[in-house]
Every structure is written in C-alpha cells, then in structure tokens.
C-alpha cells in the first residue's frame, strides 16, 4: 500500500493513499472468498465503495447500488467494464475506487485524447538502448496496461471515445485473448495477463459521434450507465458533505447557510432537467450541470466568502461563481441562463431573501 506520508503541498491524494486506513480495516476483517488476483473479496469491495458503518467505512459513491454489484460481477469475468454517462457523474471516481479496492492501486491509467497512440496502450522503446543492445525487457518501455497485465491488476482507460477508432481497437485482442504480442522480441514472445487483470473504461455521452467505438470493441465490454442524482434532498445533503471535505480545515472558518445550498442545488436540478419545481419548462444549457459541478461552485463560493468576504456563504457568491460555468463558448447558454434569472429567479426573489440576493447579483452580469 502506498505510504500516506506526503509533501504538505500535494493537492490530491490517490484513493489508495486517502483511504489507506479503511482498506487496512477491510483486509483485516475480510473473511469472504476472493476472486483470483483480488486483494479483497467482492463483499469487501462493495463495502469500501458503498460504506459500512460498523467498520467506519464512509460511503463514496452516491448512486445506484445495484450498478456496483453488476460492475463487480463484470470485473470477475472476461468482459471489460465500460462506465458511460454525462460529465460529472463520478465515472472516473468509481473506476478509481474499483481499481484501488481490487488491485491495491489506481495508477495504471491511460488518459484518452486525440493524441493517444498505440504506444500509450501497449509499449514503446528506449531507442538508445534498442540501438545499442537490441530489443529486450531492458529497452522496452511498458504502458500502464502492460504493467497491469503483468501484475494482474485493473487498468483504467479514461475518455476512451476521445481516441481515434483505430487506437481504441488495440484493446480488442487484449480483452479477448488477454495477451499482448511483442513481435520485435521474436514471434513466440508474448505477455500473458495474470489473474486479476481487467480494464475499466469511461466515456462521456456528450462525446457520441466524436470517435464511435467499433462493434467488435463494444462486444468486449459490459456497459453501465452512471446517471445523475435525481433526489433533490439527497443532492443537497451530498453537496454539503462534499463541500466540507473539499474545504478541509477551512470549513471551520465558513458559515454555511443551508438555504443557500438548497438554492444552488435547485438551480442545477432545474437547469439539468429542463423543468422548474413549479412545472415550468426550461431550456437546458449545453454546459455541464452535474452534482460534481455544483460542488465545485460551492467550493469556489466558499473560498470567496472566506478570503474576500466575511466568512458567510451567501447567495450572491453562488451567482458570481455560477456565471463562470455557463459563460463559456456557447452564446445560447447565456440566453438560457438569462431567461432563468429573469423568470424563475425573479419570481422567487419576491418572496425569499436568498433568491433576491441571487437575482440581484446575477442580473448585474
């Protein structure tokens, strides 16, 4: 397990670092049958992700519990796991949690981009050593997936549909044969995946049509859709919890008014669904209006209140930070938000002081 002793200026801990104590407790108490190559049993992995009060394991994924069960079954089998959904629905976080609990590491990750090449998925060469000594283990530079196959770990492939189709299809043989050919080292030289190896890929639904996956590759994955949170009350509770965790020690310096968090979640919920709480139809913006983005807005507004205000999180802080989310590259989003402010927010401002503060701050932009 990676040490939790880290430089004080490190911005983010990996899941294996952040939850080191939880993983250790689960390992000590884990009496379940472990699939070959797994660090924990499926029951323990489930508890790690969905929480267990008796072992003081916090809940980390807030969504469809049955999805976690189906994903675990997939990862025990021959198919890869494909997590799809709108941006900000915790697909990457979920893949990180699975790989951490199953393999003890979340670091074998390929980030899909338009510039991703076959070398990033398989291997490349140290050309100085290659010319001096010829192809060998010493001159080979292994990819994250190469390492995962050799050690029997879970590999992660983020934003797979951002890669060209011919690059995606490198995974077809890796998933079906669990084997990576290395012809430079001889026709009989291959890397065979060890027990425990599998791949978790993620893809945003908004990337459909960018680089569509081939039918051959789709057959190698089981698809699970990670959906946005539908329960408004639960989303409010989650935003509060995530805000507290993100602010860490600064949380004690911030006074959070619950109605302001409710206002933020309500705005995101209505713009995401295209319908107000009163049933009025709204046009949804192209900007991401996910729970994760709402947490980012709350975090930024909290920092503004602490460092540039009086330490009280107010609706006007939310308004100022929200505009940066919507005012990006789509002028129609500006019109949609302005319509929301001039109709829904204006009407609520007549009866509610927080909505009045939000409306007054938002209409200045």
Mean pLDDT calculated for residue range 345-365: 93
Nearest-angstrom CA–CA distance, 192 and 195: 10
Taking residue 290's Cβ as centre, other Cβ atoms within 10 Å add up to: 19
Residue in this structure with the two tokens 């104590």, named with its chain if needed: 21
pLDDT bucket at 331, cuts 50 / 70 / 90? confident
Query: In the chain, what are the domain boundaries?
Result: 15-225, 232-362
Residue 5 CA neighbour count, 13 Å, CB half? 0
Supply the pLDDT for residue 186: 84
**H helix runs in 157-256, sequence order:** 165-168, 170-177, 215-218, 232-247
Nearest to 264 by CA among 156, 348, 355: 355
pLDDT bucket at 236, cuts 50 / 70 / 90? very high
Q: Which CATH superfamily is domain 15-225 in?
A: P-loop containing nucleotide triphosphate hydrolases (3.40.50.300)
**H helix runs in the chain, sequence order:** 15-18, 20-29, 42-50, 65-76, 91-103, 118-121, 127-133, 144-151, 165-168, 170-177, 215-218, 232-247, 258-273, 291-308, 315-326, 331-340, 346-349, 353-362
Mean pLDDT calculated for residue range 21-30: 96
Between 109 and 4, the more confident residue is 109
Cβ-Cβ contacts under 8 Å for 12 (sequence gap 6 or more): none
Tokens of 224: 């699970």
Tokens of 270: 């209505």
pLDDT bucket at 340, cuts 50 / 70 / 90? very high
Supply the pLDDT for residue 2: 45
Are the beta carbons of 81 and 222 closer than 8 angstroms?
Answer: yes
User: Does position 69 have pLDDT exceeding 90, yes or no?
Assistant: yes
pLDDT bucket at 327, cuts 50 / 70 / 90? low
C-alpha Rg value of the chain to the nearest Å: 23
Supply the pLDDT for residue 208: 63
Instruction: Give tens-digit pLDDT for 156-194.
Output: 999 999 999 999 999 999 999 999 999 998 877 899 999
Residue 11 three-state SS: coil
Nearest-angstrom CA–CA distance, 317 and 308: 10
Angle at which helices 315-326 and 353-362 pack, to 10 degrees?
40
Tokens of 233: 């009350």
Mean pLDDT calculated for residue range 275-284: 91
Average pLDDT over the chain reads 91
Mean pLDDT calculated for residue range 213-225: 94
Residue 281 three-state SS: strand
Tokens of 264: 């933020």
Instruction: Give tens-digit pLDDT for 102-141.
Output: 999 999 999 999 999 999 999 999 999 999 998 998 999 9
User: Does position 5 have pLDDT exceeding 60, yes or no?
Assistant: no
User: Does position 1 have pLDDT exceeding 80, yes or no?
Assistant: no
Tokens of 261: 């968090």
Nearest-angstrom CA–CA distance, 155 and 329: 34
Supply the pLDDT for residue 7: 53
Supply the pLDDT for residue 4: 46
Backbone phi and psi for residue 154, each to the nearest 5 degrees, phi listed first:
-80, 130
Mean pLDDT calculated for residue range 289-299: 91
């Amino acid at each position: 397990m990676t040490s939790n002793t880290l430089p004080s200026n490190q911005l983010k801990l990996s899941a294996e670092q952040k939850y080191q104590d939880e993983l250790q407790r689960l390992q000590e108490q884990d009496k379940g049958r472990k699939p070959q190559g797994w660090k924990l049993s499926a029951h323990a992995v489930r508890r790690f992700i969905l929480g267990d009060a008796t072992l003081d394991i916090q809940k980390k994924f807030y969504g469809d519990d049955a999805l976690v069960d189906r994903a675990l079954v997939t990862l025990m089998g021959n198919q890869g796991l494909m997590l799809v959904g709108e941006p900000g629905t915790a697909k990457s976080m979920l893949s990180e949690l699975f790989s951490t609990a199953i393999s003890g590491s979340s670091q074998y990750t390929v980030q899909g981009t338009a510039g991703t090449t076959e070398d990033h998925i398989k291997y490349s060469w140290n050309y100085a050593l290659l010319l001096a000594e010829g192809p060998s283990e010493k001159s080979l530079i292994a990819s994250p997936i190469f390492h995962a196959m050799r050690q029997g770990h879970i590999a992660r492939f983020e934003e797979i549909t951002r890669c060209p189709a011919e690059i995606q299809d490198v995974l077809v043989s890796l998933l079906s044969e669990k084997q990576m050919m290395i012809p430079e080292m001889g026709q009989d030289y291959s890397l065979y995946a060890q027990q425990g190896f599998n791949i978790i890929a993620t893809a945003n639904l908004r990337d459909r049509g960018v680089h569509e996956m081939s039918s051959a590759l789709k057959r190698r994955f089981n698809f699970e859709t990670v959906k946005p949170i539908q329960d408004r009350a639960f989303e409010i509770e989650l935003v509060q919890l995530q805000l507290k965790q993100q602010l860490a020690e600064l949380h004690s310096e911030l006074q959070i008014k619950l109605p302001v968090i409710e206002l933020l979640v309500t705005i995101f919920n209505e713009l995401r669904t295209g319908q107000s709480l009163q049933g009025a139809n709204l046009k949804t913006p192209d900007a991401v209006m996910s729970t994760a983005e709402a947490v980012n807005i709350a975090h930024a507004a909290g920092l503004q209140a602490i460092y540039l205000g009086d330490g009280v999180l107010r609706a006007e802080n939310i308004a100022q930070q929200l505009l940066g989310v919507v005012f990006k590259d789509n002028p129609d989003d500006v019109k949609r938000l302005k319509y929301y402010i001039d109709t829904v927010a204006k009407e609520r401002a007549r009866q509610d002081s927080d909505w009045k503060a939000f409306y007054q701050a938002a209409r200045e932009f």
